[in-house]
């Protein structure tokens, strides 16, 4: 199975940058996904990484190091609407399911 | 395009009653996933189907839970009899899956279930 760890909570100021770390342990790996979930809503897909390196999508970037079992999600130019839970999820090798971390609740303050 | 459609959005019922949750995946998606989310346990995979066939039901808590996918456009998750500890948000998600692909899962709005 997968053992996925991410911080429980983070707080940052509007306009700042926040980095959410995710570490995982898995016997086989085929991709890491990041989802955003606003309170009372469904998770929505943000990004995925399969190869080592940085993937950038506007204000959001995600990084992966397969050898270290480590990923981070970088949120730049924070806005109030970025206050949400961010879920790290791992897809095992030759499987379709995702194993989700407990999520990191990010609070953006004015 | 329509996303994943779940019904009902909210369900409140008394313990012992049968509960049926419904899901219509995105057209063309061949994998369907049922999740349960609680504060204590986070987002847990209950069961998933690929091409209408159940692949992994190891997350189904006990025999009171059952799921079916009679065709590519419809799935149900049934709890019988229901218990207060089943209270949670139940999400359905779908994706287009094949070996080696990394298509994301798309989630429905969820069913908020309260068992009294």
Q: pLDDT > 90: what percent of chain A?
A: 83
What does the pLDDT look like over A30-63, one tens digit per residue? 899 999 999 999 999 999 999 999 999 999 999 9
Cβ proximity of B76 and B68 under 8 Å: yes
What does the pLDDT look like over B13-47, one tens digit per residue? 999 999 999 999 999 999 999 999 999 999 999 99
Average pLDDT over residues A82-100: 91
CA A43 to chain centre: 12
Alpha-carbon gap, residue B116 to B111, rounded angstroms: 16
What does the pLDDT look like over B57-98, one tens digit per residue? 999 988 999 999 999 999 999 999 999 999 999 999 999 987
Q: What share of residues in chain B are helix, strand, coil (percent, to 5)? A: 5, 55, 45
- Does any CB of chain B come closer than 8 Å to the CB of residue A31? yes
pLDDT of residue A48: 92
**Nearest residue in chain A measured CA to CA from B98:** A96
Pick from A28, A42, A98 the residue to mutate for testing the B interface (most B CBs within 10 Å). A42
Bridge partners for A74 per DSSP: A19, A61
Q: Kindly determine whether residue B99 and residue A94, on different chains, have CB atoms separated by under 8 Å.
A: yes
Encoded tokens for A92: 């095992």
State how far residue B110 is from chain A, nearest Cα, in angstroms.
Answer: 7
């Amino acid at each position: 199975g997968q053992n996925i760890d991410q911080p429980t909570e983070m707080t940052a100021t509007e306009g700042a940058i926040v980095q959410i770390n995710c570490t995982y342990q898995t016997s086989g790996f085929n991709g890491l996904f990041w989802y955003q979930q606003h309170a009372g809503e469904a998770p929505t897909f943000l990004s995925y990484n399969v190869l080592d390196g940085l993937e950038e999508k506007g204000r959001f970037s995600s990084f992966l190091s397969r050898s270290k079992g480590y990923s981070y999600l970088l949120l730049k130019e924070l806005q109030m609407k970025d206050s949400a839970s961010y879920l790290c999820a791992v897809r095992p090798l030759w499987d379709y399911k995702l194993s989700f971390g407990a999520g990191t609740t990010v609070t953006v303050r004015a | 395009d329509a996303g994943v459609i779940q019904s009902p959005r909210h369900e409140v019922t008394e313990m012992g009653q049968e509960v049926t949750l419904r899901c219509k995946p995105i057209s063309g998606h061949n994998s369907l996933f049922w999740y349960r989310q609680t504060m204590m346990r986070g987002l847990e995979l209950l069961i998933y189907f690929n091409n209408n066939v159940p692949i992994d039901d190891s997350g189904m808590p006990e025999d009171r839970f059952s799921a079916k996918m009679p065709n590519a456009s419809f799935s149900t998750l049934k709890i019988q009899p229901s218990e207060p500890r089943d209270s949670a948000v139940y999400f359905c998600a779908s994706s287009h899956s094949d070996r080696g692909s990394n298509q994301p899962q798309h989630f429905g709005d969820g069913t908020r279930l309260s068992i009294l």
